[in-house]
């Protein structure tokens, strides 16, 4: 998602964007530093309320835009509880931004819906079956099949600390991990990369507490 | 502009306007040319508050309008006029820029007249 909001910023007239979870607050942001996190949190909360009200009154609402003298704020709910808002110059390319948001929303929908199907067919906890992974196996590289067994657990645990973006974040980290030499170090490195993405001591502790019972002793 | 009804009529005659509703800041509907004004009034009240909140937080000056973009293209606009909010539904396939120019020109004429007189007339 970090890459996605960087791409939005590349659209002419887009100053930056912010990904906001109604439970989690600011998840990703590439707006100028002058917009402090507490301000963005307040704005995100206000926009979440307005988007929810808009959806109730106008069932085919796509997004909303606030046209100030200096700037335009565009807000869209990408997924339940997850909104993206972008700050733009008044002369921004609205059509291009709308198209990008549509593509982003479609991509997100596909990614979020896929794990649900996977979970319904693979309900076992990753290490409940000893044949899947042994203590030694944790340190060994994960095949994509083994990753699919781990993914629901990682996603569920991460969702509890980072919200609905968890599935996408886990996929992105796995993609980075599997293409790097870190793969040789096994699951422990993958977990370390997820912790680095969480980047919050308390949330990392919660994540670890959720994962640890499933790790082999 | 003598009355809210006349104002509503004038807005409704602008090319690209499917209908409109005028709301006072206490939520009372002063006039409308839409079939179901009650559908829009809660959104208008909240829209006004949120716009003001974001303006204050982000340090912006004036909000020209708030737009709810709809798949059916009958987008819904909110315009603040002193202690009132005007809600406008646009027609499909209209020239949005011309419609906006027409509405804002009319609002400008209302807003630049004596504020007191305007408030009383509304």
pLDDT tens digits for range B80-115: 998 899 999 999 989 999 999 999 999 988 765 544
Report the predicted TM-score, pTM, of the whole model to 2 decimal places.
0.69
Where does the pLDDT of residue A192 fall: very low under 50, low under 70, confident under 90, or very high at 90 and above? confident
pLDDT digits (tens, 9 = 90+) for A114-167: 544 444 444 334 444 433 343 334 434 555 556 667 778 888 888 888 877 777
Mutate: best of A66, A69, A70, A86, partner B, most B CBs <10 A: A66
pLDDT digits (tens, 9 = 90+) for A159-173: 888 877 777 788 788
- The CB-side HSE value for A211 (13 A sphere, CA atoms) comes to 24
Of all residues in chain B, what percent carry a pLDDT higher than 90? Answer: 70
Higher per-residue confidence, A117 vs A98: A98
Q: Which of A198, A160, A191, A199 is nearest to A174 (CA)?
A: A191
Q: Which of B109, B83, B118, B119 is nearest to B11 (CA)?
A: B109
Domain housing B47:
4-121
Partner residue opposite B70 with nearest CB, options A47, A49, A62: A62
* Nearest-CA distance B98 → chain A (Å): 16
The domain total for chain B is 1
> How many other C-beta atoms are found inside a 10 Å radius of the C-beta of residue B66?
27
* Nearest-CA distance A85 → chain B (Å): 12
Domain locations along chain A: 2-109, 122-214
What value does the mean pLDDT of chain A take?
80
pLDDT digits (tens, 9 = 90+) for B21-70: 999 989 999 999 998 898 899 999 999 999 999 999 999 989 999 999 99
Residue identified by tokens 């906006």 is B100
Higher per-residue confidence, A174 vs A119: A174
Long-range contacts of B17-20 (CB under 8 A, 24+ apart): B17/B88, B17/B89, B17/B90, B17/B91, B17/B99, B17/B102, B17/B103, B18/B74, B18/B89, B18/B90, B18/B91, B19/B88, B19/B89, B20/B86, B20/B87, B20/B88, B20/B89
CATH of the domain at B114: 3.30.450.30
Tell me if B74 sits within 8 A of B68, measured CB to CB: no
> How many other C-beta atoms are found inside a 10 Å radius of the C-beta of residue A212?
10
Partner residue opposite B54 with nearest CB, options A60, A66, A70: A66
Residue B97 touches chain A, beta carbons under 8 Å: no
Cβ contact A67–B69 (<8 Å): no
Distance of alpha carbon B46 from alpha carbon B69, whole angstroms: 16
Superfamily for the A2-109 domain: Dynein light chain 2a, cytoplasmic (3.30.450.30)
pLDDT of the residue at A51: 96
């Amino acid at each position: 998602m970090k890459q996605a909001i960087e791409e939005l910023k590349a659209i002419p007239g887009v100053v930056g964007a912010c990904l906001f979870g109604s439970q989690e607050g600011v998840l990703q942001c590439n707006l100028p530093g002058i917009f402090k996190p507490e301000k963005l949190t307040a704005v995100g909360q206000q926009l979440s309320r307005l988007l929810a009200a808009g959806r109730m009154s106008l069932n085919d609402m796509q997004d909303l835009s606030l046209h100030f003298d200096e700037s335009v704020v565009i807000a869209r709910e990408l997924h339940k509880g997850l909104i993206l808002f972008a700050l733009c110059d008044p002369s921004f390319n609205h059509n291009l931004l709308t198209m990008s948001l549509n593509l982003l929303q479609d991509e997100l929908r596909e990614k979020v819906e896929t794990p649900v199907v996977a979970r319904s067919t693979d309900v076992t906890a990753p290490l409940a079956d000893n044949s899947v992974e042994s203590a030694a196996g944790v340190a060994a590289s994960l095949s994509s099949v083994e990753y699919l067994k781990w993914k629901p657990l990682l996603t569920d645990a991460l969702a509890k600390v980072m919200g609905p973006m968890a599935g996408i974040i886990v996929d992105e980290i796995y993609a980075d991990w599997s293409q790097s030499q870190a793969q040789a170090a096994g699951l422990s490195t993958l977990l370390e990369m997820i912790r680095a993405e969480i980047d919050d001591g308390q949330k990392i502790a919660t994540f670890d507490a959720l994962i640890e019972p499933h790790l082999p002793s | 502009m003598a009355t809210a009804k006349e104002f509503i009529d004038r807005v409704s005659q602008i090319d690209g306007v499917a209908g409109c509703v005028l709301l006072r800041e206490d939520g009372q509907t002063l006039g409308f040319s839409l079939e179901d004004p009650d559908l829009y009034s809660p959104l208008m009240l909240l829209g006004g508050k949120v716009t003001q909140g974001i303006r204050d937080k982000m340090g912006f000056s004036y909000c020209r309008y708030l737009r709810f973009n709809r798949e059916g293209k009958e987008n819904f606009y909110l315009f603040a006029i002193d202690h009132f909010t005007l809600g406008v539904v646009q027609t499909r396939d209209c020239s949005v820029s011309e419609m906006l120019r027409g509405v804002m020109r009319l609002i400008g004429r209302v807003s630049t007249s004596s504020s007191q007189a305007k408030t009383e007339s509304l």
